[in-house]
Amino acid sequence: MFDQVPPQIWIVLALAIISLGPAAYVWRYFAHGLTPRDITLPPEDLSWKSLRHLLLCLTALVGLAGIGAFVFTPWAAQFARSPLFAQALFGAMGSYALCTVVWSWRKGEIELLLRGFVSRFSRTEHPKRYWASMIWNGILGAGLLAAAFGAGRENATPHCDDGNSRDELIEILATCSALLAESDLDLDQRANLLADRGAINHRLGNDTLALRDYSDALALDPSNSYALYNRALVYQRTKDFSRSLADFDASLALRPDNDAAYLDRGLLYLDHGRLEEAVRDFTTLHERSPDNAYALANRGITYVWLGEREKAEKDFATINKDGEAWPIVLHGRALLAFHDKEYSRSIDYLTQALNVDPDDYFALRLRADAYWKSGRKDLARNDDDRSIAIDAERDTR
């Protein structure tokens, strides 16, 4: 139920709770004196009324209201994802903690942070707890400000890591190369930077450069399982089966908990007709990660090629129609229909898959074959042309 609530609502709720204290003071300040007072009673103590405190409370309420409005804007989402968010958050919290130390020194009373609103200690009545709270709040504030300073330095330091858009990747690639040009790197630093640059080249489709970077990284650090796994993916994409398999094996030997490697190695086995090994890897993945739909979807496909229809359908029946692995099920059922010479049903399954991904190469190739088999030559040529164009585009990357 709570998953349905937008995060902005929780932020506004927290701001509303924070504003209760200042709002209560403002209400009390202006509402006081509106009702007649019994003149027979002793003079009322009005020492709590302070224009300065009123202005502080009003300022706080305006600031909280501004933050509440800001969280619903697109800029808030961008800021939350930016590197400055952690720096600003730690800085604000640290500044507040240190301010409590200054205010408490002046008032002679302190509230221990992180312990709730009831843990308030007076310098005269609880001197030990007062000074302990002062020290704790000071250490907490200094630590948070140090974290903010560290985050600021981290943001200001160039990084050789991942990005989202192609422009970001190209910019990061230049940063990687600049960092690698520094002469004071030790072997581990250089190996990690080479592996990171290889990952950027990999994402940009620069397979030759990616292979060179991964290989250079592994020459410096042969135990880098991530570089081995990533190099295996490049070899897989360049159809170098033996080297890809060797790297997958070596990577899993170093890091046997890499679930993605079982899936990718299983797909490699499947593509090269080593069906029993593919079943083994997909089964291992399913046992390690029962919620990974790709494990059973691809195992079902493998069972189709093995001619084990009942096992294939059993695996397909576990896949959610709205899930990402559903097109694989459509591929498998289209293959079963094709083998049964039910070409119209095979075409229907493949068309559903192409509605999900119009560039589904496997679906286009198999649907073209089904069209040829059913005598629908124009449609078969269209799918052949589309698949050839996709193949050519892959070769130019």
Q: What are the extents of the domains in the chain?
A: 2-31+51-156, 320-397
Q: How far apart are CA 51 and CA 55, in angstroms?
A: 6
Q: Which two tokens stand for residue 315?
A: 């695996």
Give the integer Cα–Cα distance in Å for 234 and 288.
Answer: 25
Cα–Cα distance for residue pair 283/289, rounded to 1 Å: 10
Fold held by 320-397: 1.25.40
Structure tokens at 202: 């990999």
The greatest distance separating any two alpha carbons of the chain, rounded to the nearest whole angstrom, comes to: 107
Measured between alpha carbons, how far is 394 from 397 in angstroms, rounded to an integer? 5
Three-class DSSP category at 111: strand
> Phi and psi dihedrals of 120, rounded to 5?
-110, 130
* Apex 363 CA angle, 359 and 365, nearest 5: 95
End-to-end CA distance of the chain: 45
205: left (phi over 0), alpha (psi -120 to 50) or beta: left
pLDDT in single tens digits along all 397 residues of the chain:
444 556 667 677 766 776 777 787 788 777 765 555 555 556 666 666 777 777 887 888 888 788 778 777 776 665 555 555 566 666 677 677 777 777 777 777 776 665 444 466 777 777 887 788 778 778 877 887 787 676 555 444 445 666 567 777 788 888 888 888 877 778 888 888 899 888 888 888 889 999 999 999 999 999 999 999 999 999 999 999 999 999 999 999 999 999 999 999 999 999 999 999 999 999 999 999 999 999 999 999 999 999 999 999 999 999 999 899 999 999 999 999 999 999 999 999 999 999 999 999 999 999 999 999 999 999 999 999 999 998 777 665 5
This prediction's pTM: 0.62
Residue appearing with tokens 């950027």: 200
> CA dihedral defined by 259, 265, 271, 273, rounded to 10 degrees?
-120
Other Cβ atoms within 10 Å of 373 Cβ, number: 14
Distance CA 284, CA 263 (A): 9
* Torsion (CA) 279, 281, 287, 289 in degrees, nearest 10: -120
Q: Is 359 helix (H, G, I), strand (E, B) or coil?
A: coil
